[in-house]
Structure 1
Amino acid sequence: MENKRLHIAVLVWTNFCRFLLALVFTFSGFVKANDPLGTVYKITDYLEAWGIVDLVPNALVYLASMLMGMVEFTLGIYLLFGIRSRIASSLVLLLMSVMTPLTLWLAIENPISDCGCFGDAIVLTNWETFGKNIVLLLAAISVFKWRKQIFQLVTSKVDWLVALYSTVFIVFYTFFCISKLPVFDFRPYHVGADIRKGMEIPEGKKPTTYETTFIYAKDGVEKEFTIDNFPSSDTTWVFVDSRTRVKEKGYEPPIHDFSIVSQEDGTDLTDVILDDENYTFLLVSPRLSTADDSNIDLINEVYDYSLEHGYRFLCVTASSDEDIAMWQEYTGAEYPFALMDDITLKTMIRSNPGLMLLKKGIVINKWSDGDLPDEYQLNASLENLPIGQLNRKTVIHKIVEVVAWFVAPLLLLTLSDLAWLNYRNRKMKQKEKGKEEKAN
């Protein structure tokens, strides 16, 4: 009786740990696959903290970003369905054995603000992340030790199908989010966001004070300027870079660093754009030197369309004057440029370049570089086009769609495979029966 109770306790504990790990790994892998470029930025933060960012090729960083999401999601699904339990439990234990001491180092040294394990969906402090990983490490040890106690949610006849389809699904989803934009946008600049409201401070709260400085060069000497002492009258100064730093910590609204300055004369355009009741196109490019230039014709067409219909078009970037001039020369860009903080631009849209449509400070639409609107979509004024209207699709609607894309094909393939197995078994039985009749 005692052994039976112990067996039941181990069974319950092991599968509780298994489902906990499955939930965390599936979610973590999915949010990374949903925002591969965000994971790239986070990996870059790690490399900068270690001082090796210049030694690692960009292609390797992108590959690592995609593989992290794919591997975590696949392992989570394996644990969820109880398939490939040996390899899944071994790899999960290996990952947690690496990540736990890494997050301890993050908690102690604090080189970056958060580990990025759940992307922008759930932001944890470094100490919270370390505590979470201690729990997951204990769960991973338990699952690895008693992996034979894991029960499957599918039969051995179709477990291979679940394993294969899970990998195929997350690979396609990752590339979809790279070519388009993240399906789930957890950042404060998502479609439907009111930028002005996102900058508001609740009554009674003391705001965090920020200062944006602009680095200009003249006669080989670099100097930092603020909005108050901007060298707008002296055109011999050449823009180099911009930085936003915290002066005094306080309440931090979701949007705290949205500041647009004209590259031509240093005029602050923030309020002008946020208060504009007409449409505004923002071509967002953190760094023009690394921007994708394969769709420059479409960008120029959108600019021509905006001129024709009286809409504002502005390229916002953190690039130097030299890089802006090179971009203009190479692409034939005639649109005006403005300066913003590099991190803000990366947060606004996961594409370089990307296109945002604003109206009264509200994000109406967003496009990646590979999904820009063309002349067939821009065949009338925005007031009369679907792309000029706010998409009211809710998060719940998106979740249902994604789950349906995962579950429906998997269910169809599983039923088809079971039907084929049933048909094959009947045929084999008929052959055996025929052989027996001939023998008699």
Structure 2
Amino acid sequence: MQKILFHFSKWFVGLLFIFSGLIKANDPIGFGYKLQEYFEVFHIGFLNGWATGIAILLCVLEIMFGALLLLGIFRNFVAKGLLATIIFFTFLTFVSAAFKVVTSCGCFGDAIPLTPWQSFSKDVLLLLLIIYIYINRKQIRPVTEKPGVQSALFAIAFTASLLFGTFTYNYLPIIDFLPYKVGSNIPENMKIPEGAPVDEYLIMYDLKNKKTGETKAMSDKDYMEKEVWKDENWEVTGSPSRKLIKKGYEVKIKDLMITDASGTDYTKEIVENPYHSLVVVAYNLNETDEKAIAEINALALNAAEQFNIRTVLLTSNSAQDADKFSKRLKLFMEVFYADAVPLKSMVRANPGVLLLKNGTIINKWHYHSLPSFDQLTEKYFSK
């Protein structure tokens, strides 16, 4: 029985660590954004510039620990590494849950969103299993006893995990779990489907007893059923509040608003264009790749002259900074403004490009993989 429990623990922990690491390595920039939230909570914002690099490193460690555990090599190092890692993550998820400072830990990226308490519960379970593995680490048996082969396996696992995270950083996630993935329709993702469940709330009253000074909260339903309103000793204080009791349908895209420099809303006009249009996303012009912007600008000029295709640039910078940037690079494309949060979700690149038609994302690219004008013409514009 003990042997079965140990093997179950080893395989469960190993596979979960590999899965968790791969899911986050699939989108290291998104994981980096999550780390920045934690950096702000712990007042170490000076690490923000290193967030993506740290994210890739953490993903590599997770994948490595999981793979090495299953391979059974370097057992002491792996057992200690797993224990240190899960203690660290359990602490973070407890802080998130107890103090409500980070609404999602990002444990499984955007693929499997977990609430803070769900994340903490998951980490507590892993902590117990890893403590068990650590205590019984001598039972870990390597797939090979040859030091040279063990070193080779270590090198292969390390190189593969590092290359995967580096690739997705430079060429977008392999699997896009965000609402702006290729094939999705932006206007539809901004609506609540007909018949979808809505949030259900209770109206809550704060009551105070005039004689005893006792206070309590009570729903409007209980207030009426128990006829508390007939008891002159109880009075309602303050304003009623709403308490969510059942979560309804959550709109996939709820924070996208595109405006011009004067604040006029252009969201509908841009995302619902019935023709092909190019949307260039550079959420931070101070950190964007200017060479890539110049290349995209040339592409936009050709697309407009030959196919009358509209190209817009979306940024979260101020209108004053964007205007200076546009004039300095002699941009042909129109500049509009949106909050950085939805822009970061649109495409994990700065800059990145989306090809839209009638609100649907036909394709999107990191600036490292942007096709040429001739390629775009052959595949999209000429059809």
Band the TM-score falls in, shorter-chain normalisation: 0.7 to 0.9
| 1:277-321 deviation digits (Å, cap 9, x = unpaired) | 211111112121221213233111221122121112111111101
Residue in 2 that maps onto 1:340: 338
Residue in 2 that maps onto 1:355: 353
TM-superposed CA distance for 1:128, in Å, is: 0.5
Q: Indicate yes or no: 2:35 matched with 1:43.
A: yes
Q: Indicate yes or no: 2:13 matched with 1:15.
A: no
Residue in 1 that maps onto 2:369: 371
Mapped to 2, the partners of 1:197 and 1:185 lie a distance apart of: 18
Secondary structure class of the residue paired with 2:314: strand
Residue in 2 that maps onto 1:295: 292
Letter in 1 for 2:303: S
Secondary structure class of the residue paired with 1:68: helix
Of 46, 49, 58, which aligns to 1:68? 58
Q: Which of 193-202 and 154-163 deviates more?
A: 154-163
TM-superposed CA distance for 1:342, in Å, is: 1.2
Residue in 2 that maps onto 1:305: 302
Letter in 2 for 1:302: L
Mapped to 2, the partners of 1:381 and 1:124 lie a distance apart of: 39
Q: Indicate yes or no: 2:184 matched with 1:193.
A: yes
Q: Indicate yes or no: 2:272 matched with 1:269.
A: no
TM-superposed CA distance for 1:332, in Å, is: 1.5
Give TM-score scaled by structure 2 length.
Answer: 0.82
Report if aligned partners of 1:302, 1:373 keep a CA contact under 8 Å in 2: no
Of 16, 33, 52, which aligns to 2:25? 33
TM-superposed CA distance for 1:33, in Å, is: 1.6
Report if aligned partners of 1:15, 1:143 keep a CA contact under 8 Å in 2: no
Mapped to 2, the partners of 1:56 and 1:162 lie a distance apart of: 32
Secondary structure class of the residue paired with 2:356: strand
Secondary structure class of the residue paired with 1:262: coil
Distance change in 2, residues 1:46/1:143 (3 Å): same
Secondary structure class of the residue paired with 2:87: helix
Mapped to 2, the partners of 1:56 and 1:183 lie a distance apart of: 27
TM-superposed CA distance for 1:105, in Å, is: 1.6
Report if aligned partners of 2:36, 2:48 keep a CA contact under 8 Å in 1: no
Secondary structure class of the residue paired with 2:290: coil
| 1:360-412 deviation digits (Å, cap 9, x = unpaired) | 11111111122222244245572447xxxxxxxxxxxxxxxxxxxxxxxxxxx
Report if aligned partners of 1:289, 1:323 keep a CA contact under 8 Å in 2: no
Secondary structure class of the residue paired with 1:261: coil
Give TM-score scaled by structure 1 length.
Answer: 0.72
Mapped to 1, the partners of 2:92 and 2:263 lie a distance apart of: 43
Report if aligned partners of 1:32, 1:68 keep a CA contact under 8 Å in 2: no
Mapped to 2, the partners of 1:153 and 1:383 lie a distance apart of: 54
Of 47, 53, 60, which aligns to 1:56? 47
TM-superposed CA distance for 1:52, in Å, is: 2.8
Distance change in 2, residues 1:189/1:51 (3 Å): same
Residue in 2 that maps onto 1:169: 160
Report matched runs for 1:102-181 at 5 Å.
Answer: 102-153=92-143, 156=146, 158-181=149-172
Secondary structure class of the residue paired with 1:290: coil
Distance change in 2, residues 1:340/1:57 (3 Å): closer
Secondary structure class of the residue paired with 2:336: strand
Report if aligned partners of 1:26, 1:74 keep a CA contact under 8 Å in 2: yes
TM-superposed CA distance for 1:255, in Å, is: 1.5
Residue in 1 that maps onto 2:277: 280
TM-superposed CA distance for 1:131, in Å, is: 0.3
TM-superposed CA distance for 1:153, in Å, is: 4.6
Mapped to 2, the partners of 1:290 and 1:324 lie a distance apart of: 13
Superposition CA RMSD, Å: 2.2
TM-superposed CA distance for 1:142, in Å, is: 0.8
Distance change in 2, residues 1:193/1:204 (3 Å): closer
Residue in 1 that maps onto 2:203: none
Residue in 1 that maps onto 2:320: 322
Distance change in 2, residues 1:373/1:30 (3 Å): same
TM-superposed CA distance for 1:102, in Å, is: 2.3
Mapped to 2, the partners of 1:192 and 1:250 lie a distance apart of: 25
Residue in 1 that maps onto 2:73: 83
| 1:234-273 deviation digits (Å, cap 9, x = unpaired) | xxxxxxxxxxxxxx9863211122222223x533222223
Report matched runs for 1:397-436 at 5 Å.
Answer: none
Report if aligned partners of 1:106, 1:126 keep a CA contact under 8 Å in 2: yes
Report if aligned partners of 2:196, 2:249 keep a CA contact under 8 Å in 1: no
Report if aligned partners of 1:305, 1:378 keep a CA contact under 8 Å in 2: no
Secondary structure class of the residue paired with 1:196: helix
Letter in 2 for 1:26: I
Mapped to 1, the partners of 2:144 and 2:21 lie a distance apart of: 22
Mapped to 1, the partners of 2:21 and 2:48 lie a distance apart of: 23
Q: How many residues were matched structurally? A: 335
Secondary structure class of the residue paired with 1:47: helix
Letter in 2 for 1:92: L
Mapped to 1, the partners of 2:272 and 2:320 lie a distance apart of: 31
Mapped to 2, the partners of 1:337 and 1:317 lie a distance apart of: 8
TM-superposed CA distance for 1:161, in Å, is: 2.6
Mapped to 2, the partners of 1:368 and 1:80 lie a distance apart of: 35
Letter in 1 for 2:19: F
TM-superposed CA distance for 1:190, in Å, is: 0.7
Mapped to 1, the partners of 2:115 and 2:126 lie a distance apart of: 16
